[in-house]
């Protein structure tokens, strides 16, 4: 993988490209979940790796939302969010619960705080997972195809949450096949192919006039078929 990329504060960056192009691998490297063969990842001047992520300086500063929500099935939505706070922030029960309720409200899930995951739709579960990550107040939010496991009618409710977060100035990097979302919400698009960033530009220019033939071919296939 050959990548040189800088994400700006309060920016939403979309990682797009064909399957197998390296988007999810890049995101996992950015999160410190995988080690790059060479080079490094830095957040605010601090090097990111598995060991550093457990340090006080970086703990919780990088939020990661997976394709699958991975909620604890025996815990309510509120308890799923609260647990992460109790374990990593050492908050009291009331402090953790108050913050968790605020984050559930932020993603439109406050009415389902006492619901178990099995009673929630896929979109609702993913919103709880996003709230769980936001509760830790990360400096950057990384999302790996957060709608790919959802039914089509549930995709929009998650994308609406991401739109609101973008408007709030949340720094986000989103691996997505939802090109409408990337065009509307992302400030920039990084188009990847074969482990490289082939094109990096603001989203308007990328969709209006891509600079590379590979990106033009991809957009023509995806948008017109």
Stated length of the chain: 225
In terms of Cα–Cα distance, which of 88, 77, 64 is closest to 115?
77
What is the residue whose two structure tokens read 């949340």? 170
Tell me the average pLDDT of the chain.
Answer: 90
| Ordered domains of the chain (ranges, CATH) | 1-61+138-225 (3.40.50.300), 73-137 (no CATH)
**pLDDT at residue 10 greater than cutoff 80:** yes
Q: What is the pLDDT of residues 121-178, one digit of tens each?
A: 999 999 999 999 999 999 999 999 999 888 888 898 999 999 999 999 999 999 998 8
Q: Which two tokens stand for residue 93?
A: 């029960």
Helix (H) or strand (E) holding 131: helix 122-134
End-to-end CA distance of the chain: 29
Distance CA 26, CA 24 (A): 5
pTM (two decimals): 0.91
Q: Which two tokens stand for residue 163?
A: 């739109």
Q: What is the pLDDT of residues 169-188, one digit of tens each?
A: 999 999 998 898 999 999 99
Q: Which two tokens stand for residue 116?
A: 């178990």
Distance CA 18, CA 38 (A): 24
Crossing angle for the helix pair 122-134 and 93-106, to the nearest 10 degrees: 130
| DSSP string across 45-107 | TEEPSHHHHTSTTTTTTEEEE-SS----TTS-HHHHHHHHHHHHH---HHHHHHHHHHHHHHT
Distance CA 142, CA 63 (A): 6
Q: Which residues of 212-223 are buried (b: 16+ CB within 10 A; e: fewer)?
A: eebbeebbeeee
């Amino acid at each position: 993988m050959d990548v040189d990329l800088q994400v700006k504060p309060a920016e939403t960056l979309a990682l797009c490209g064909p399957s197998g192009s390296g988007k999810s691998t890049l995101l996992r490297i950015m999160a410190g979940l995988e080690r790059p063969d060479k080079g490094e990842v830095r957040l605010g001047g601090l090097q990111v790796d598995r060991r550093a992520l457990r340090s006080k300086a970086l703990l919780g500063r990088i939020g990661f939302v997976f394709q699958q929500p991975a909620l604890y099935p025996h815990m309510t939505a509120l308890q799923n969010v609260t647990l992460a706070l109790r374990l990593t922030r050492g908050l009291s029960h009331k402090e953790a619960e108050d913050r968790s309720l605020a984050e559930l409200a932020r993603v439109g899930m406050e009415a389902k705080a006492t619901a178990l995951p099995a009673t929630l739709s896929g979109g609702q579960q993913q919103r709880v997972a996003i709230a769980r990550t936001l509760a830790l107040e990360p400096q950057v939010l990384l999302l790996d195809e957060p709608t790919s496991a959802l039914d089509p009618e549930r995709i929009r409710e998650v994308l609406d949450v991401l739109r609101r977060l973008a408007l709030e100035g949340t720094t986000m990097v989103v691996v997505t096949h939802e090109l409408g979302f990337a065009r509307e919400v992302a400030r920039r698009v990084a188009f990847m192919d074969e482990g490289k960033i082939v094109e990096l530009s603001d989203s308007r220019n990328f969709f209006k006039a891509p600079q590379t033939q590979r990106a033009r071919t991809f957009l023509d296939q995806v948008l017109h078929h």
